[in-house]
Amino acid sequence: MSMRTPLKNVRHLGSAKEGADHFWLQRVTAVANLVLGLFLVWLIASLAGADYETVKATLANPINAILLLMLVISSTIHMRLGMQVVIEDYVHQESSKILLLLLNNFFAILVGAACVWAILKLSFA
């Protein structure tokens, strides 16, 4: 005895096997943001009151630059996923939903690219 409805048999639609990916990516980026955010707080606290040359030299350190880049990438992905869930849950008109999801992706790319550019400019200057 099959548990499939006649419509499901006709469409041959099954599980997309994608449901948990979004969930886990959101959780992994949240943990990464927590750890990298603590690094950012420590970095800011250690540079408080420092002159421009000290800050520039600290950000030119490859380890600091890489950790900051990882934070930017992780938080941008986390931000995009979070807004995607909000849009999918609360926007009911299909055309508006598609437009907002598209704008959400472009906004995340723009923010991420601007942050990466700023970090690279500071670290290579």
Q: How far apart are CA 73 and CA 71, in angstroms?
A: 6
The fraction of the chain above a pLDDT of 90, given in percent, is: 78
Contact 97, 87 (CB under 8 A): yes
Give the pLDDT mean for 39-46. 97
Q: How far apart are CA 42 and CA 63, in angstroms?
A: 14
Give the residue among 80, 85, 78 at the shortest CA–CA distance from 19.
85
What is the rounded average pLDDT for all residues in the chain?
91
Residue 35 has pLDDT above 80, yes or no: yes
* Beta strand ranges found along 11-96 (DSSP E): none
Measured from the Cβ of residue 120, the count of other Cβ atoms closer than 10 Å reads 13
- How far from the centroid of its chain's Cα atoms is residue 64's Cα? 19
Going by pLDDT thresholds of 50, 70 and 90, the confidence category of residue 125 is confident
Q: Is the pTM of this model over 0.75?
A: yes
Instruction: Report, at the CATH architecture level, how domain 21-124 is classified.
Output: Up-down Bundle (1.20)
pLDDT digits (tens, 9 = 90+) for 66-88: 999 999 999 999 999 999 999 99
Going by pLDDT thresholds of 50, 70 and 90, the confidence category of residue 22 is confident
Q: How far apart are CA 10 and CA 59, in angstroms?
A: 59
Going by pLDDT thresholds of 50, 70 and 90, the confidence category of residue 18 is low
Local structure of residue 93 (DSSP, 8 states): S
